[in-house]
A and B are shown apart, each in its own frame.
Chain A
Amino acid sequence: MPTEPILSLSEIGHRFGGLNVLRSVSFDVPEGGIVGLIGPNGSGKTTLFNIVSGYIRPLMGTVTYRGVPLVRETIQKRGLAGLVRTFQMPQVFEQMTVIENVMAGCAKLTRTTMLQDLLRTPAARDQMRVIRERAEAACERFHLCGLRDRPAASLTAGQRRILELARAVVGQPRLLLLDEPSSGLNTQEIENLREWIVRLNAEGITILLVSHDMGLMTVARTVHTLYFGEIIASGDMASIQRDPRVREVYLGV
């Protein structure tokens, strides 16, 4: 049964200076799916990601999220609508502790005014308690309890990835955008990450995954191959690996 796509990209085009980084890229991400995006360095993956998450406004084309055009929406509005991303270099809040990092991820789920916070009204205290409880639960779930009060600056690359993932998931995303989540991780950590992706997807979070890592990519049901700003192949990972153009791009054969 075909489902309504949660995200729909239509003829996205973008240029940096004279360089066409994206040329008429179109694809859909079905609700509840895992979609992968592969391509060699400089193929436009991160630019496309920045366009979807709102860090770059595309010169051409439209992005539709749950039937609503997104191109003019701010990053913050997209986040509130459930579209959350992680970064190629994990962006943890270095001077904050692990638990505070996760708490920052659920700040958007509650509302307080500046005055309430200045006066520490019962409403402000309640909201803070809710934030703390959610963050505690997320720490438990992502096995971060042992690191709870450590400053995020002291974490290893693998721990930072998991922290970033926990911080994104605690904000209750519908569509999670993961940008090169396996870079800098060892084999065991990649396996762990893979399990998380499958588990989160099973819970109903749609995932759009950008990666170099062909092994990790096998979690995706559909994979699009981007090459110099164009999609040259789409399908499941097995068919992508057999595709002659992809083999040429990646292996030079």
Chain B
Amino acid sequence: MTRRLLWIAVALVIWAMLPFVVPRNIADLLVFTGIYTVAGLGIGLLLGHCGIVNLAQATFYGLGAYASAYCTVMMGLPSAVGFVVGAAISMTLAYVIGRPILRLTGYFLALGTLALSAIASALFFEWDWLTGGTLGIGGIPKIDIFGFVLDRPSRYYFFVWIVAFACMAAARNLVDSRTGLMLRAMRDSNTAAASLSIDLQGLRTRVFVVCALFGSLAGSLFAHHVSFVSTQSFTVDRSISFLLIPVIGGATSIPGIVAGAVFVTFLPEFLSNLGDIHQILFGLALVAVVVMLPDGLMGALNRIRARYAARGNRNAD
């Protein structure tokens, strides 16, 4: 137990020092990792605990970002209002859309969410009176907390990661709760879960709403970080890269989501140093992970750990 606490303390110290010791561009990527972790957590809940592939997260990410941009730039409201408005709109939309489309299962449901993302992406482009279209909305103010302005990546880093940790704690709570129990039951057998009075449809809709909440929070965080939002950030491509986070990291594991977020933010950046070939290399890396580590980075790590433990036991015998 004390050893565990020691590890946590070391991790915390590293976490607190990181933005001050790394170059600015890396600090920037660390902020993005935090933002992607928040968005990825929602998808991880759906994928790992309900078996639902959600390809619509860029929609809620966009709604959060536009809500923050519109409320602060166009209406001059405090940034907190943008977060709340974005979350409210995203959750309402997720509920209204979720009820009909969550009746679908498997590939059809994945395609349904993909369609949602495509429609939303088109609307973000068309409704330029609201979103600014391709020109976007610029000049989004930095968040200030009682006069302390989070205007540098090293400052915003702490804000983003505190939000991310809170979201991780909430996701963990949900998984360990009665809801989590029912979700896993439903994932393993719909038929049996129904016989135990588990409301499949309602449960899926509620998790979809939670996923949208995380997506929207991530979007608002993103808007305040980059100060400028436009349609390019909320396309179907973005939905796919969000889905990659739990797929790569391991959908049922919260550290796995962080690992997946690191993968999708850092790897393309490092590979881009290699010139035009970087997208192909990223694709190859992706295929390699999915083929060789079907249960994600965390699953692979657990297997290695189990193997070492088994070897340790054998030596002890």
A residues at B contact (CB < 8 Å) = 53, 55, 75-77, 79-80, 84-85, 87, 91-96, 100-101, 103-105, 107-108, 110, 112, 114, 116-120, 124, 127-128, 131, 167-168, 171
When distances are taken between beta carbons in the complex, the residues of chain A under 8 Å from B192 are 87, 91-93
B188–A171 contact, CB under 8 A?
no
B210–A93 contact, CB under 8 A?
no
B180–A117 contact, CB under 8 A?
yes
Q: Which of B176, B185, B193 has the most CB of A within 10 A?
A: B185
**Which of B23-31, B32-40, B194-202, B257-265 lies at the binding interface?**
B194-202
B196–A167 contact, CB under 8 A?
yes
The CA of A192 and the CA of B184, in the complex, are separated in Å by 30
The CA of A94 and the CA of B191, in the complex, are separated in Å by 13
A114–B206 contact, CB under 8 A?
yes
When distances are taken between beta carbons in the complex, the residues of chain B under 8 Å from A100 are 181, 184
The CA of A77 and the CA of B177, in the complex, are separated in Å by 22
Given A91-B192, A93-B192: A119 touches B178 (CB 8 Å cut-off): no
When distances are taken between beta carbons in the complex, the residues of chain A under 8 Å from B210 are 114, 118
The CA of A55 and the CA of B191, in the complex, are separated in Å by 9
Q: Residues 161-177 of chain B: 1 if any A CB is under 8 Å from the residue's CB, otherwise 0?
A: 00000000010011011
When distances are taken between beta carbons in the complex, the residues of chain A under 8 Å from B188 are 92-96
Q: Assess whether B227 is interfacial by the CB under 8 Å rule.
A: no
The CA of A103 and the CA of B196, in the complex, are separated in Å by 11
The interface residues of chain B, by DSSP majority, are classed as helix
Q: Assess whether B182 is interfacial by the CB under 8 Å rule.
A: yes
The CA of A107 and the CA of B192, in the complex, are separated in Å by 13
When distances are taken between beta carbons in the complex, the residues of chain A under 8 Å from B177 are 112, 116-118, 120, 124, 128
When distances are taken between beta carbons in the complex, the residues of chain A under 8 Å from B176 are 120, 128
Instruction: Return the contact of A108 from the options B174, B187, B198 (Cβ within 8 A).
Output: B198
Q: Assess whether B315 is interfacial by the CB under 8 Å rule.
A: no
The interface residues of chain A, by DSSP majority, are classed as helix
B113: min CB distance to chain A, Å: 20
A239: min CB distance to chain B, Å: 33
When distances are taken between beta carbons in the complex, the residues of chain A under 8 Å from B178 are 107, 110, 112, 117, 124, 127-128, 131
A171–B198 contact, CB under 8 A?
no
When distances are taken between beta carbons in the complex, the residues of chain B under 8 Å from A107 are 178, 181-182, 185, 196, 198
A91–B174 contact, CB under 8 A?
no
B178: min CB distance to chain A, Å: 5
B198–A85 contact, CB under 8 A?
no
A104–B174 contact, CB under 8 A?
no
When distances are taken between beta carbons in the complex, the residues of chain A under 8 Å from B232 are none
A142: min CB distance to chain B, Å: 16
B195–A104 contact, CB under 8 A?
no
Closest 10 CB pairs of A and B: A79-B197, A91-B192, A117-B177, A93-B188, A108-B197, A120-B173, A104-B185, A117-B179, A75-B194, A76-B197
- A89: nearest residue on chain B (CB-CB)? B191
A158: min CB distance to chain B, Å: 18
When distances are taken between beta carbons in the complex, the residues of chain A under 8 Å from B174 are 114, 117-118
Q: Assess whether B313 is interfacial by the CB under 8 Å rule.
A: no
